Amino acid sequence: MGFFDKIKEGLSRTKQSMAVSLNSIFASFTGENEDFFEELEETLILSDAGMDTSLRAVERLREVTKDRGLRGGEELKEALTEILTNMLEVGSRELRLNTRPSVILMVGVNGVGKTTTIGKLAAKFTGEGKKVLLCAGDTFRAAAAEQLAVWAERSGSSIVRHEAGSDPAAVVFDAISAAKARGMDIVICDTAGRLHNKQNLMNELLKIRRVIARELPDADFEILLVLDATTGQNGLIQAKQFSDTAGITGIVLTKLDGTAKGGIIFAICDELKIPVKYVGVGEKADDLLPFNPQEFVEALLQ
């Protein structure tokens, strides 16, 4: 299955709900009708693109329609594709992992797909010939290290883990020492799910971050926030909080296969200007796709 087909398949629910209504809306465009723009706004809002972002997108479309004298629905669809794509182009989507070792810290609320995404990334990196070490920084749940160990085995990565209940920052410290000693390319640190509004848990993240910065001051260091697309607008609030406290460098949006509301991605990029770097479209190792705005919008609208 090609890359494009895979996004389309993964996005089928979002696509169905968005494209079906968009197609009939575009077909109804007669050149002057204000109804058209209002219906479009509504569809975008319903897809979870958020009020502000939807209004902004449609306002731009109004301008472009006037400036370029667009008349047909197809022309408008192309213009909307361009506008939505531009909204998603915020900052670099490449993971910067050039130093040895480099570090990825995975953060987010409970159950969003942090550990699964680590497994998927580990499989991708080992497939590229990289030496990957997974760090079981979720010491809160007893089963968490087990789950990560399964992904380590599956992807051919190493793992560093401690007893349940131990200090996550200490596991991270050990993982970094092991990575240095064994010449690992990439260390990926799992963390326990935490509510964005619990200050003590956010402080724990800061402590982990400090350990990494202290032990590897010159290393490339990505802090990825994992967001569950099915949680809709709450994802935006989570992203704001994690961004303010942990200083995230990118977002992974998971479970796009399970929602009809993939429009949240527009709200995130447009409002927070933080790049979505990968999207999750399933539970298997290869269900992680580098995020490509143009292909994403085309898969959604066509």
Ligand X SMILES: Nc1nc2c(ncn2[C@@H]2O[C@H](COP(=O)(O)OP(=O)(O)OP(=O)(O)O)[C@@H](O)[C@H]2O)c(=O)[nH]1
Binding residues (CB under 6 A) for ligand X: these are: 108, 110-116, 138, 144, 193, 254-255, 257-258, 280-283, 287
> Is the separation of the CB atoms in 205 and 194 below 8 Å?
yes
Q: Interface with Mg ion by CB under 5 A: which range of 20-28, 38-46, 106-114, 291-299?
A: 106-114
Task: Give least dist CB 261 to Mg ion, A.
Answer: 23
Write out the two tokens for 170.
């200490």
β-sheet with 102-107: strand ranges across: 158-160, 132-135, 186-189, 102-107, 221-228, 250-254, 276-280, 288-290
C-beta of 110: minimal distance to Mg ion in Å?
8
**Based on CB atoms, which residue is closest to Mg ion, 108 or 235?**
108
* Smallest distance, Mg ion to C-beta of residue 150, A: 12
- Determine contact, residues 265/229, Cβ cutoff 8 Å: yes
For ligand X, which is the closer residue by CB, 193 or 235? 193
Stretch that binds Mg ion, among 56-64, 78-86, 113-121, 205-213 (CB under 5 A): 113-121
| Closer CB to ligand X, 37 or 140, in the complex | 140
Minimum separation from the CB atom of position 99 to ligand X (A): 26
Cα 50 → chain centroid:
17
Least gap, CB of 237 to ligand X (angstroms): 17
Give the number of residues in contact with Mg ion, rule: CB under 5 A: 2
277 binds, among Mg ion, ligand X, none (CB under 5 to 8 A by kind): none
Distances (CA, A) of 157 to 107, 115, 125, 130, 248: 20, 14, 9, 9, 24
Asked if 115 interacts with Mg ion (CB under 5 A), we say yes
| Burial class, 30, CB count within 10 angstroms (exposed 0-12 / middle 13-18 / buried 19+) | exposed
**Cβ of 95: how many Cβ atoms within 10 Å?**
20
Q: Which is nearer to Mg ion, 114 or 161 (CB)?
A: 114
Gap between the Cα atoms of 181 and 161, Å rounded: 16
**Interior CA angle at 254 toward 253 and 258, to 5°?**
125
- Who contacts 199 (Cβ-Cβ below 8 Å, separation ≥6)? none
Which listed option, Mg ion, ligand X, none, makes contact with residue 33 (CB within 5 to 8 Å by class)? Answer: none
Least separation in angstroms between residue 274's CB and Mg ion is: 21
Q: In angstroms, give the least distance from the CB of 73 to ligand X.
A: 33
In this structure, the dihedral spanned by the alpha carbons of residues 5, 235, 273 and 186, taken in order and rounded to 10 degrees, is: -70
Cα torsion angle, 225, 226, 231, 233, sign: positive
With respect to Mg ion, which residue has the nearer C-beta, 119 or 235? Answer: 119
Binding mask 64-103 for Mg ion (x = CB under 5 A): ----------------------------------------
Of 50 and 280, nearer to ligand X (C-beta) is 280
Which residue minimizes CB distance to Mg ion? 115
DSSP E strand stretches across 22-136: 102-107, 132-135
**Whose Cβ is closer to ligand X: residue 108's or residue 250's?**
108
- Residue whose CB is less far from Mg ion, 30 or 110: 110
Local structure of 107: helix, strand or coil: strand
Minimum CB–partner distance for residue 285 and ligand X (Å): 11
